[in-house]
Structure 1
Amino acid sequence: MPPIHAPLAPLSVYAARRARVFDLLGDRALVLPAAAHARRSRDTEYPYRPDSEVRWLCGSEESDTVVVLLGHADEERFVIFTRERDPEAELWAGPRLGVEGARELHGADAAYPIDELDERLPAMLDGCAAVGYRLAEGRRAEPEVRAALRHARERGARRGTGPRALFDPGEVLDDLRLIKDEWEIARMREAAALTVDAFREVAPMIRSGAGEWQVQGRLDGAFRAGGGEGPAYESIVGGGANACVLHYVRNDRAFEPGELVLIDAGASVAGYAADLTRTFPVDGRFTPEARAVYEVVDRARAAAVTAVRPGATMAAVHEAAVAVIVAGLRELGVLEEPAEGETTPWRRFYPHQTSHWLGLDVHDVGDYARDGQSRPLEPGMVLTVEPGLYFGEAGVDTAEGRADRFRGIGVRLEDDVLVTADGHEVLTAVMPTDPEAVAALVAGG
């Protein structure tokens, strides 16, 4: 029988990650509680989603766990606090690793029952200079971290020891997580491939009278049936004007002839997210107006993808998309010269950024700018490229009649892009964006 909740990556992968963390920690410490269970109502909980930082550091997927990294310690530097075995509780919720199981499975220097956290943690932190912990999130270990800080304020001045400050764990972890290792990249390729397969499966369902909910159900089911953990985020299936709502998730309307359907969804594989958007014509037929908008967005997507390479900035990727969007809006007759004092009139129709980081979180960690300057891209980063045009009521009504014929049209096209040593790799490239190919998928081709 395989180990319960076995880490998905080899232990050597997690050990290498922690070694880089310790290099940055110095004599500081990290205290990282696992995610808490989210309650849906009364005694019913949402499906558990493991904490990304804990998962990245050691592969643990159990709740009520606290991972501690002690940069100042000589021996017990990687410590896990977790639940003990409990046959009655395990009858209801499934097997637990237990203390010894967690130590062995994750390669910890030491492991202790979570009920001993209040007794042991303050002493462990006594010799560190600062503690990486996020207050006010309602997770475990906050009282113990506060106690360690209070003790250091009261008695540390005499001994010159004890943590005097808190810092955000992201100061150490975010940049490390931002550059994906080979194991992570392999998982993201798998998530992208699974997502593309699911999109191809649902495309022929986009017919007049079919429901957004039906497409969502098949899509989410395909993510799970294909071996993924399910959707990486709540799937968006927006027909007609619903495609103009950026985070539309009601998915409760039937498609009508002549509309476009925007699908924004991604599978999760080993915790790693794909994030793909395609926009399909109902019944496989674009109206002239819909196709004109679609082609502008596709040109913007291609320009932004081309801009992805080492040394380029996130801002440059966005600017490449915006330049095509602005030119396209003028070709469509929607955009005139901006009014006095108006510098970004295109934002009425393209209100969001072109990219975000992608990884264990669909909007993954990592700063987009440093010292006021857009961040240069580096090999191993994974980002989305997702320009769009949305002719919702508010934007159309400000265009003084120039956009009326596009009312209710929303188009977004999104790919997942890995920065490589000599350029980029589009992880979702096999899912076409050419309008004829997209229409053919709906028609069953």
Structure 2
Amino acid sequence: MSPFAARRARLAASMEPGALAVLATAPEVARNSDSDYPYRHDSYFYYLTSFTEPESVLVMVAASGATPARSILFCREKNVEREIWDGFRYGPSAARETFGFDEAYPIGELDAQMARLLADVPALYYALAHNPSLDAQVAGWLKAVRAQSRAGVAAPARTHHLLALLDEMRLVKDESEQALMLRAATISGAAHLRAMRAARPGMFEYELEAELLYEFRRNGAQFPAYTPIVASGDKACVLHYSANNAQMLDGDLVLIDAGCEFDSYAADITRTFPVNGRFSDAQKVLYELVLRAQDAALRAIVPGRPYSDVHEAALKVLAEGMLDVGLLDKAKYGSVDNVLAERAYTPFYMHGTGHWLGLDVHDTGSYRDLGIEGKPSRPLVPGMALTVEPGIYVRPAPGVPEHFWNIGIRIEDDVIVGEAGARVLSGSAPKTVREIETLMAER
């Protein structure tokens, strides 16, 4: 529990002396009738507690003078009868001891305890406008405290957005987080490998999706980190395609964007490969262009360099390649600088080259340095985790060489910023033309 206790201590130290923070986990959500969707805890809550039961609330009280900081958990009571139906519950006493909280109470006591805990507290930190149910509860707690004003009890004078503090904390991953992310990426890489080995012309996209999900679960991953994309042929030009129901044809490329969640941490990997095991000449030209763009982006991941350099490095290579292969008219644009200035690349590349990664597949944290006037792109620091995912998507259009039509390619890896540069977590999934064709020839 030491990483979680250390995070709680860091949060308390960043709060006003004597202030109180409250953070609820995610609610259970009904799917239909008396069946719920598979439960997944709130990422912020898990980051501070590692506690995964629903109906749970964390309260942090910052140190003040000689009074130390405290962490308080509210959770479901121990209930042997309900455990017969729903499984094990810790209950407040065992949860306090197991997870290292200073105090723990039944969730049913939350309202009464909060009216007491908020009395004479200088400031309240909570997730403003994040959870309507909690917003209503907070309003009720404050009303209860204000009702005691004649007895000399004061309500918090200030409120702060708790998630802004946690976003910055979550942006840099500690060693325990990096180890979990490596495991998630390793499992996900094995799933992509399995899909390449299984692919055959005539199969349906959902058959490859089943191979991915099987590999995730058999290696201990609890969930896919997001809905997998298995997009063959022209469907690969749809960025968030999710139907996964088309038949894969001889000569198609298939783009698979899929990653698992392992112990709450996400992987996010994309590989694009030929269903029949051999790239056509046109497919190979564009694929190797995207691969060069990714290599340029990976080399831009250096501590101290702006985050935006990663995208700009990939973009420059892609723009130059689009001119060279005829996707963009050299006579019209003339140079890479003109392509970039006019954003002429956007019909073929319309998204960024990556995003933060962690407990959420699109993880928290600002991409800009909010502490500097003008908010420039923030510098990379060791421990940040991000994806690097350039792509190229060619839809039929006048002036676009026909042999490139309906080719969609994306190559994505998971990366930790290291002291010397990028540490790729997902390298087990083949991605060069030679690696892919060699692997698929052995099927």
CA distance in 2, matches of 1:146, 1:194: 44
SS at match of 1:374: coil
Contact 1:68 1:79 in 2 (8 A): yes
Higher mean alpha-carbon deviation, 405-414 vs 86-95, is at 86-95
Does 2:21 align with 1:30?
yes
Aligned equivalent of 1:263? 256
Aligned equivalent of 2:96? 103
Aligned equivalent of 2:39? 48
1:94 Cα deviation from its structure 2 partner:
0.8
Aligned equivalent of 1:343? 342
CA distance in 2, matches of 1:179, 1:132: 22
1:99 Cα deviation from its structure 2 partner:
1.3
Amino acid at match of 1:321: A
Report % sequence identity.
Answer: 40
What TM-score do you get using the length of structure 2 for normalisation?
0.92
Aligned equivalent of 1:410? 408
Contact 2:305 2:379 in 1 (8 A): yes
Aligned equivalent of 2:360? 361
Q: Unaligned regions of 5+ residues in structure 1, if any? A: 1-10
CA distance in 1, matches of 2:130, 2:366: 21
CA distance in 1, matches of 2:399, 2:151: 75
Does 2:428 align with 1:430?
yes
Go from structure 1 to structure 2 and tell me whether the alpha carbon gap of 1:137 and 1:419 turns closer, same or farther (over 3 Å shift): closer
SS at match of 1:402: coil
Contact 2:62 2:68 in 1 (8 A): no
CA distance in 1, matches of 2:35, 2:104: 30
Aligned equivalent of 1:5? none
1:275 Cα deviation from its structure 2 partner:
0.8
Contact 2:120 2:153 in 1 (8 A): no
Match of residue 11, structure 2, among 17, 21, 28: 21
CA distance in 1, matches of 2:14, 2:339: 50
1:153 Cα deviation from its structure 2 partner:
6.2
Contact 2:189 2:427 in 1 (8 A): no
Does 2:200 align with 1:188?
no
1:156 Cα deviation from its structure 2 partner:
6.3
Does 2:438 align with 1:440?
yes
Go from structure 1 to structure 2 and tell me whether the alpha carbon gap of 1:340 and 1:287 turns closer, same or farther (over 3 Å shift): closer
CA distance in 2, matches of 1:181, 1:48: 26
CA distance in 2, matches of 1:227, 1:341: 44
1:158 Cα deviation from its structure 2 partner:
9.6
Q: Cα deviations across residues 39-98 of structure 1 (Å, max 9, x unaligned)?
A: 222222111111111111111000000011111563672001111122332222111111
SS at match of 2:261: strand
1:430 Cα deviation from its structure 2 partner:
2.9
Go from structure 1 to structure 2 and tell me whether the alpha carbon gap of 1:418 and 1:261 turns closer, same or farther (over 3 Å shift): same
CA distance in 2, matches of 1:340, 1:192: 35
SS at match of 2:88: coil
1:177 Cα deviation from its structure 2 partner:
1.0
CA distance in 2, matches of 1:18, 1:29: 12
Contact 1:233 1:265 in 2 (8 A): yes
SS at match of 1:32: strand
Match of residue 62, structure 2, among 56, 68, 71: 71
Contact 1:391 1:403 in 2 (8 A): no
Amino acid at match of 1:182: E
Higher mean alpha-carbon deviation, 122-131 vs 377-386, is at 122-131
SS at match of 1:279: strand
Q: Cα deviations across residues 76-132 of structure 1 (Å, max 9, x unaligned)?
A: 720011111223322221111111111111111111111111111122122333322
What TM-score do you get using the length of structure 1 for normalisation?
0.91
Does 2:404 align with 1:378?
no
What RMSD, in angstroms, separates the aligned Cα atoms of the two structures? 2.2
Aligned equivalent of 2:202? 209
1:161 Cα deviation from its structure 2 partner:
4.0
- Matching of residues 45-444 of structure 1 within 5 Å: 45-71=36-62, 74=67, 77-138=70-131, 141-150=134-143, 161-336=154-329, 337=332, 343-371=342-370, 372-392=375-395, 396-397=396-397, 400-444=398-442
1:140 Cα deviation from its structure 2 partner:
5.2
CA distance in 2, matches of 1:407, 1:150: 63
Go from structure 1 to structure 2 and tell me whether the alpha carbon gap of 1:155 and 1:415 turns closer, same or farther (over 3 Å shift): same
Amino acid at match of 1:214: E
Q: Cα deviations across residues 152-203 of structure 1 (Å, max 9, x unaligned)?
A: 6677699684323333222211111111111111111111111111111121
1:143 Cα deviation from its structure 2 partner:
3.2
Go from structure 1 to structure 2 and tell me whether the alpha carbon gap of 1:340 and 1:69 turns closer, same or farther (over 3 Å shift): closer
1:137 Cα deviation from its structure 2 partner:
4.5
1:142 Cα deviation from its structure 2 partner:
3.3
SS at match of 2:346: helix
CA distance in 1, matches of 2:147, 2:393: 58
1:437 Cα deviation from its structure 2 partner:
1.1
Go from structure 1 to structure 2 and tell me whether the alpha carbon gap of 1:154 and 1:113 turns closer, same or farther (over 3 Å shift): closer
Higher mean alpha-carbon deviation, 259-268 vs 336-345, is at 336-345
Contact 2:390 2:410 in 1 (8 A): yes
CA distance in 1, matches of 2:349, 2:238: 12
Higher mean alpha-carbon deviation, 97-106 vs 330-339, is at 330-339
Q: Number of aligned pairs?
A: 430
Go from structure 1 to structure 2 and tell me whether the alpha carbon gap of 1:136 and 1:16 turns closer, same or farther (over 3 Å shift): closer
CA distance in 1, matches of 2:151, 2:240: 55
Go from structure 1 to structure 2 and tell me whether the alpha carbon gap of 1:269 and 1:159 turns closer, same or farther (over 3 Å shift): same
CA distance in 2, matches of 1:310, 1:111: 41
